[in-house]
Amino acid sequence: MHQPKWLDTAVFYEIYPQSFNDTNGDGIGDFEGVIEKLDYIKKLGCDALWINPCFESPFMDAGYDVSDYLKTAPRYGTNDDLKRLFDEAHKRGMHVLLDLVPGHTSVEHEWFKQSARAEQNEYTNRYVWTDSVWESPEGMGCIRGISDRDGSCAVNFFSHQPALNYGFYKPDPSKKWQQSMDAEGPRATLEALKDVMRFWLRAGCDGFRVDMAGSLVKNDPDGEGTIALWQNVRAFLDAEFPEAAMISEWGEPDKSLRGGFHMDFLLHFGPSHYNDLFRCEESFFSESGKGDASKFVEKYVENLEKTDGKGLICIPSGNHDMDRLARSIHGENLKIAFAFLLSMPGAPFIYYGDEIGMRYVEGLTSVEGGYGRTGSRSPMQWDDSKNAGFSSDDTLYVKQDEAEDRPTVKAQLADNMSLLNEVKRLIKLRRENKALGNLGGIEFLNAGYPLAYLRSAEGERVLVIINPSDSEREFTCKYEIDRVIYSIGKGTYIAVGNKVTVPPRTVLFCTVK
């Protein structure tokens, strides 16, 4: 499999388009707003974007309920505006991933409307339907009683998101409606998916973040069917778009990378222990010093061994589905968390606003199917003008953080000690030291406090020591420290033999002898 060269050094920025920057004063972000902020993102050090779904949709799941894959949502702009965004990004040496939602559509998609009709037609088998409205598909939610067609349609997520039919890995022979992966209907669905990808790749996008990538084939407990499906897509990409980058929301890199993805996320679900670090009662990066990174490290090393050389594992600062980082980690410890995120292998992903420590907005009523996620989706805070510079409209589509001391880009740019400037410096450090880059190796030296690991590439080595706790901590270091090349916090280390002691709330990047 070919890996696009730019992924070797890419640092991503995730844009939730409705909340990023509104340029026409309707209270919702838009493509023009993204274009306007490309220089900001570039100066931060990010050179790649992932934009959440921006296609036509009734927005009952923030756009993850697509009603037309080939048309942008008018509220963001036209297809041509999106192409202009690609061009403007490319001019700046940046790349853009769109969000591909292959597992389900909105009930308002024309495919579903046709599929729900009683008469046989081209779309009859586009979704997973049982033969009778009285039979529900086992183990899945379903839509029943809204179609002329006699049948229940499986859903993939919310009950307004019918599951597209890619077939069953092991169809139950007693249930004729369970089609095999190579039946005509599932094959047509897969070809339709390729057409969607072709359409946007031709329009100039650089690849896709793929939503719920592991969910496509049904009755597929080990993912073998879904892996085979993505290998088929991989062959198509290799033939027609070898430079397209693919990143999966799967959370099991050993499977997704076999399926031909270049990168997979470690996420708040699945067996990653990612949340032990950032989002649990005693998260590792909070100052209490009561957290535990050991299970994360164990799982990470296991994944790395399985995937080494085949692709990248990405650890995001957050995303539109999880609590803001700043909900459980505060103050200087946010810098410490970013020192970790920006010194790990794999492409880093920064969720918009995390670079200024945007807060989770508590107590919001659900907007666009966000529910508890709504608080992490509030409008970006740019400056001290009306609506923090997000929009000139009086009514925003979702509430903004109204705290008087809400962080803003403008204030943090002006403050050398701000989180924003720390993040900038950390990305620069990563870019200047190959050892810290996406492809460099990692060896963990200590998985408690302090967390310590050696990054290496092409003969360069950087030792990273991270102590988020509020007390002095020591570990056994098998390398002799040469000099500190970057630090966060006030003190430095003390080495006695191979015992290295570091002060509280400190990060040290060191070269070794």
User: Residue 248 class from Cβ within 10 Å (0-12 exposed, 13-18 middle, 19+ buried)?
Assistant: buried
Q: What angle do CA 18, 391, 211 make, to 5 degrees?
A: 10
68 binds, among Ca ion, ligand GLC, none (CB under 5 to 8 A by kind): none
By DSSP bridging, strand 451-457 and strand 441-446 are antiparallel
Q: Which is nearer to ligand GLC, 139 or 459 (CB)?
A: 139
Identify the CA nearest to 507 among candidates 483, 488, 479.
488
28 binds, among ligand GLC, Ca ion, none (CB under 5 to 8 A by kind): Ca ion
Q: How far is the CB of 77 from Ca ion (least distance, A)?
A: 8
Q: How far is the CB of 22 from Ca ion (least distance, A)?
A: 4
Site for ligand GLC in 238-257 (CB under 6 A): 249
Q: How far is the CB of 63 from ligand GLC (least distance, A)?
A: 9
Site for ligand GLC in 280-339 (CB under 6 A): 320-321
DSSP annotation of 164 reads B
Q: Calculate the alpha carbon distances from 289 to 184, 295, 450, 467, 473 in Å.
A: 57, 16, 10, 9, 10
Q: Which is nearer to ligand GLC, 215 or 381 (CB)?
A: 215
By DSSP bridging, strand 460-467 and strand 451-457 are antiparallel
Cβ atoms of 146 and 193 closer than 8 Å? no
243 binds, among Ca ion, ligand GLC, none (CB under 5 to 8 A by kind): none
* Cβ atoms within 10 Å of 256's Cβ, excluding its own: 30
# residues contacting Ca ion (CB under 5 A): 5
Q: How far is the CB of 15 from ligand GLC (least distance, A)?
A: 14
Q: Which is nearer to ligand GLC, 61 or 287 (CB)?
A: 61
Q: Which is nearer to ligand GLC, 250 or 300 (CB)?
A: 250
CA atoms within 13 A on the CB side of 353: 33
> What string marks each residue from 81 to 120 as x (binds ligand GLC by CB under 6 A) or -?
--------------------x-------------------
> What string marks each residue from 142 to 181 as x (binds ligand GLC by CB under 6 A) or -?
---------------x------------------------
Phi, psi for residue 156 in degrees, rounded to 5: -105, -25
The pair of three-digit structure tokens given for residue 274, joined into one six-digit string: 């990612």
Site for Ca ion in 6-65 (CB under 5 A): 22, 24, 26, 28, 30
Place of tokens 């098998």: 478
Q: How far is the CB of 207 from ligand GLC (least distance, A)?
A: 17
Instruction: Establish if 212 lies at the interface with ligand GLC (CB under 6 A).
Output: yes
# residues contacting ligand GLC (CB under 6 A): 9
47 binds, among ligand GLC, Ca ion, none (CB under 5 to 8 A by kind): none
Measured distance CA(43)–CA(383) in Å, rounded: 17
Q: How far is the CB of 314 from ligand GLC (least distance, A)?
A: 14
Residue nearest to ligand GLC (CB): 64
212 binds, among ligand GLC, Ca ion, none (CB under 5 to 8 A by kind): ligand GLC
61 binds, among ligand GLC, Ca ion, none (CB under 5 to 8 A by kind): ligand GLC
Maximal C-alpha separation, the chain: 80
Among 22, 30, 47, 61, interactor with ligand GLC by CB under 6 A: 61
Q: How far is the CB of 17 from ligand GLC (least distance, A)?
A: 13
Measured distance CA(493)–CA(470) in Å, rounded: 15
Measured distance CA(501)–CA(221) in Å, rounded: 47
Q: Which is nearer to ligand GLC, 106 or 286 (CB)?
A: 106
The pair of three-digit structure tokens given for residue 1, joined into one six-digit string: 């499999």
Distance of alpha carbon 422 from the chain centroid: 22
By DSSP bridging, strand 153-154 and strand 142-143 are antiparallel
Q: Which is nearer to ligand GLC, 247 or 451 (CB)?
A: 247
Q: How far is the CB of 84 from Ca ion (least distance, A)?
A: 15
Measured distance CA(231)–CA(500) in Å, rounded: 47
Measured distance CA(509)–CA(501) in Å, rounded: 14
Q: Which is nearer to Ca ion, 22 or 249 (CB)?
A: 22
422 binds, among ligand GLC, Ca ion, none (CB under 5 to 8 A by kind): none
Q: Which is nearer to ligand GLC, 247 or 500 (CB)?
A: 247
Q: Which is nearer to Ca ion, 28 or 451 (CB)?
A: 28
Beta bridge partners of 97: 50, 207
Identify the CA nearest to 196 among candidates 259, 111, 116, 120.
111
By DSSP bridging, strand 460-467 and strand 506-512 are antiparallel
Q: At what angle do helices 79-91 and 184-203 cross, to 10 degrees?
A: 60
Residues lying near Ca ion in the complex (CB under 5 A): 22, 24, 26, 28, 30
Residues lying near ligand GLC in the complex (CB under 6 A): 61, 64, 101, 157, 211-212, 249, 320-321
